[in-house]
Every structure is written in structure tokens, then in C-alpha cells.
């Protein structure tokens, strides 16, 4: 039976991995903040949202295939110094308020999809952002609390309240419009243990979605860009180019690029790789196998005709594995780039500036949003896998 929480109510988590979805009649952006005992983030890396979708134990899932924006918390992977994860929701339309809109949070078992509990905050008025729920530790166990605290100054107001610096114009002081639920007393620190210092944020977080309006984009790990321009879908067909070179003095490295297509439930539908160069009637086409990485330019490329993809395809994950078994520490100058397949113009580039002694890497993903737009996110996560088949499970987990 599904538990229905009221404001201030709490309940124990019955799953180690949970997903918090927030739905409303209007488009929402859902975010997560990892907070220490002080109630602040350690750095901007603890702010997980559409432009920075991966944090320690916390990931952002963009809306796609009818599934809403969501935050997933893997409690087993949350750092020991984090006391709680706050899940927020803000309106995608900058000029809109929550007046007449009732957002509802649904907490699911992330592995089975089963609904564990729901929470609908009290009626809202001029709020533009909301602290919806918090997932927190108490006496060694994990619980969830229904908060429902509104802010009239948007996501920037929430972010700055919790210690995040943003590069938007300075936000006014936070304006809570509903009294926050009373917090349970924090567990006392062990005797003689000095408090951990809060690391000041080094780079302000951008609360503006990155698009192709300003031309070519260089992504860093975890960064995202929407494939739209002037508010409209910009591309009908894209080419993902991947390149690499053997390390100096090393033997040839046989890397294989693949594109794995997933549905809304993260189930694999099909894979384009060197053993199957064309899928979905040519909507995704692989250039063919490169056995050495020799030569200038892209070593392998995969062309995607976005408009030709079946509607059940909600996510594409581009992966590279070392078929020859060498670790990526034996590879240099690995990169992926996104090009306009029609003009050949380079739009987005992601360079792997560091490598790990593994045989596979999840380079990036393209996710279809609920609105129909596609968003590319640079991942750059290394895994132990030498074939495309072995990349399916880790790739699906990173959608």
C-alpha cells in the first residue's frame, strides 16, 4: 500500500535506491542538493540539476518518454559527510508561479519502479520554486520527510540559501512562503572529532540551460547541452565522432564505438556497433570498425537521424570499449564530438583529459525530453567492459 505523507510527515525508506519524481500541469525542473550537518553544500559539485546531472550518490534524470524530471538517490553511495539530500522543483517558465498548480512528489523504488509514497504540498500562490522532500539519515537509517517549503525567488533563491554560488544575477535573500517542517535534532558528533570544513565553491553553477545559440560548445564531465537553437529543435540528424591515438611507444589500440538505444524504463532496445552497422532502418548508422586508431580526424563515427527514431527510443548512450583489452591509460587524445550531419559543422566537443585503468568508457548520452527536444550530456565514466554487450548495464544505469 502506498503511503501518503502530509507536510512535516516522515517515513523510513524501504529501498536502498529511490527515485523522487515531481509532476505538475506545468513543466518543472527537479534538482537535488547534498547537505552536510551544517545545512550547506560542501561545494557546487553537491548541486545536482539539469546542467550537472551527476553527483556522489545522487543523479538527475531528465524528463523523457512521458517520465517526469526526477532525482535518484543511491543511499549506499552517498558520502559519509552528507546528512541529507534536499529535492527541489522549480518552474521551467521563468515568469510563471505555482498559483493554481499542485505539484506532487512520488517516491519510487529505483530498481523496481514500485511507488513507495506520495506527497502533495499545501496550496501554493506566488512561489516559483519549492523544497519538496528531503531524504535524510537518522540513527544510521535513511528516512524521507515531506517539506513543502516555497520560495518566491526561484531556484537561485534555494541554491544560495544552501550555499551554492550561481552565475545568474545575485538572488535576493530567500523568501520562504511556508513554514518549513521542524527538523529532527542532528545526531551529536563523536567526542573529540572536529567539524569538517565546508569547501567554498570554486566555480558558480549556471542555472541557465545551455543551448546551441552561441555556437560550438566545449563540455566538461557531467555538462549538458540542449540540441535546440532560438527555442526550436536545431538538428534533424547528428553525427557522433570518436577519436583516439595509441599512447607514445605503444602498440595499436583497437577501440570500438557503439550506440545503445534504450526505452523509458532503461531497457535496451538495440545496439549499433561494428557487428551491426545499421539499426532502425538506417536511423542510426555506424561508419565501420577502426582497428588501430591511426590517422587524423574521427576514427569511428555514428550518424543518428533523430526524426527517424521510433517513439519508444528515449535515450541513446555512446560508449567506447577496448576490444584488444588494453586499458585506457594506454590511449591518448580520446574525445567525442557532435556534428551537424548535414553541414559537418562541429557543435559540441568533449575531451577525456584523464583516463583510468579500465577497458570501457561511457562517453555521453542523448536523452529525448518530454517536450521532444534532445539533450546531450558528457559522462566520461570508466567501467570494466571489453564489448558493447558488456556496456549495456552500466550505460543504462547512467541514463
Give the pLDDT score at 14.
92
**Same domain, yes or no, for 150 and 22?**
yes
**Based on the structure, what is the number of domains in the chain?**
2
Contact 315, 367 (CB under 8 A): yes
**Same domain, yes or no, for 126 and 235?**
no
**Same domain, yes or no, for 234 and 118?**
no
**Same domain, yes or no, for 236 and 382?**
yes
Q: What is the pLDDT of residues 21-59, one digit of tens each?
A: 999 888 888 999 999 998 889 988 899 988 888 899 999
Q: What is the pLDDT of residues 84-106, one digit of tens each?
A: 999 999 887 767 888 888 889 99
Give the pLDDT score at 214.
66
**Same domain, yes or no, for 234 and 372?**
yes
Cell numbers for 99: 498559483
pLDDT exceeds 60 at position 191: no
Contact 151, 177 (CB under 8 A): yes
Q: What is the pLDDT of residues 109-147, one digit of tens each?
A: 999 999 999 999 888 888 888 899 999 999 889 999 998
Answer yes or no: is 360 within a domain. Answer: yes
- How do 217-218 and 28-35 pair as beta strands? unpaired
Query: Which contiguous run of DSSP H or E holds residue 157?
Result: helix 154-161
Task: Among 161, 186, 208, identify where a domain stops.
Answer: 161
**Same domain, yes or no, for 140 and 236?**
no
Answer yes or no: is 169 within a domain. Answer: no
Answer yes or no: is 72 within a domain. Answer: yes
Rounded to an integer, the average pLDDT of 237-260 is 75
Q: How far apart are CA 393 and CA 381, in angstroms?
A: 13
HSE-CB of 159 using CA atoms within 13 angstroms: 27
Give the pLDDT score at 70.
93
**Which DSSP letter does residue 75 get?**
G
**Same domain, yes or no, for 346 and 248?**
yes
Answer yes or no: is 287 within a domain. Answer: yes
Considering just the CA atoms, what is the radius of gyration of the chain in Å? 22
Query: Rounded mean pLDDT of the chain?
Result: 79
CATH of the domain at 351: 2.60.60.30
Give the pLDDT score at 225.
78
Looking at per-residue confidence, does 224 or 149 come out higher? 149
Answer yes or no: is 234 within a domain. Answer: yes
Cβ within 8 Å of residue 124, ≥6 positions away: 97, 98, 99, 101, 102, 103, 130, 150, 177, 178
Give the domain range for residue 314: 217-397
Task: Among 135, 161, 187, identify where a domain stops.
Answer: 161
Q: pLDDT band at 310, cuts 50/70/90?
A: very high
**Same domain, yes or no, for 229 and 370?**
yes
**Same domain, yes or no, for 138 and 222?**
no
Answer yes or no: is 139 within a domain. Answer: yes
**Same domain, yes or no, for 258 and 382?**
yes
pLDDT exceeds 70 at position 150: yes
pLDDT exceeds 50 at position 197: no
Backbone angles phi, psi at 15, to 5 degrees: -140, 145
Amino acid at each position: 500500500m502506498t503511503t501518503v505523507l502530509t507536510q512535516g510527515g516522515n517515513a523510513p525508506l524501504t529501498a536502498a535506491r529511490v527515485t523522487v519524481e515531481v509532476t505538475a500541469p506545468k513543466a518543472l525542473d527537479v534538482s537535488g542538493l547534498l547537505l552536510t550537518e551544517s545545512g550547506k553544500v560542501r561545494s557546487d559539485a553537491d548541486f545536482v540539476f539539469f546542467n550537472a546531472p551527476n553527483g556522489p550518490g545522487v543523479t538527475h534524470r531528465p524528463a523523457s518518454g512521458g517520465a517526469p524530471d526526477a532525482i535518484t538517490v543511491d543511499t549506499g553511495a552517498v558520502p559519509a559527510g552528507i546528512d541529507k539530500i534536499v529535492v527541489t522543483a522549480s518552474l521551467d517558465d521563468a515568469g510563471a508561479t505555482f498559483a493554481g498548480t499542485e505539484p506532487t512528489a512520488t517516491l519510487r523504488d529505483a530498481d523496481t519502479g514500485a511507488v513507495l509514497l506520495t506527497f502533495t504540498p499545501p496550496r501554493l500562490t506566488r512561489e516559483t520554486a519549492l523544497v519538496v522532500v528531503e531524504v535524510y539519515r537518522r540513527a544510521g537509517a535513511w528516512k524521507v520527510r515531506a517539506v513543502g517549503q516555497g520560495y518566491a525567488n526561484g531556484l537561485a533563491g534555494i541554491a544560495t540559501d544552501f550555499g551554492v554560488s550561481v552565475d545568474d544575477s545575485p538572488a535576493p535573500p530567500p523568501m520562504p512562503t511556508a513554514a518549513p517542517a521542524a527538523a529532527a535534532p542532528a545526531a551529536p558528533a563523536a567526542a573529540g572529532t572536529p567539524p569538517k570544513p565546508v569547501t567554498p565553491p570554486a566555480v558558480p553553477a549556471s542555472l541557465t540551460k545551455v543551448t546551441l545559440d552561441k555556437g560550438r560548445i566545449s563540455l566538461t564531465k557531467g555538462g549538458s547541452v540542449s540540441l535546440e537553437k532560438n527555442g526550436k529543435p536545431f538538428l534533424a540528424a547528428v553525427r557522433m565522432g570518436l577519436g583516439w591515438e595509441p599512447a607514445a611507444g605503444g602498440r595499436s589500440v583497437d577501440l570500438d564505438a557503439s550506440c545503445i538505444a534504450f526505452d523509458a524504463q532503461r531497457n535496451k532496445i538495440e545496439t549499433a556497433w561494428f557487428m551491426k552497422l545499421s539499426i532502425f532502418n538506417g536511423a542510426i548508422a555506424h561508419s565501420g570498425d577502426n582497428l588501430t586508431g591511426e590517422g587524423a580526424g574521427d576514427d569511428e563515427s555514428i550518424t543518428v537521424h533523430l526524426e527517424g527514431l521510433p517513439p519508444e527510443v528515449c535515450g541513446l548512450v555512446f560508449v567506447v570499449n577496448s576490444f584488444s583489452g588494453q586499458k585506457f591509460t594506454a590511449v591518448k587524445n580520446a574525445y567525442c564530438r557532435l556534428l551537424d550531419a548535414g553541414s559537418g559543422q562541429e557543435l559540441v566537443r568533449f575531451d577525456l583529459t584523464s583516463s583510468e585503468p579500465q577497458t570501457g568508457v561511457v562517453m555521453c548520452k542523448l536523452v529525448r525530453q518530454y517536450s521532444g527536444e534532445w539533450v546531450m550530456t558528457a559522462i566520461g565514466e570508466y567501467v570494466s567492459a571489453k564489448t558493447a554487450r558488456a556496456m549495456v548495464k552500466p550505460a543504462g544505469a547512467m541514463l
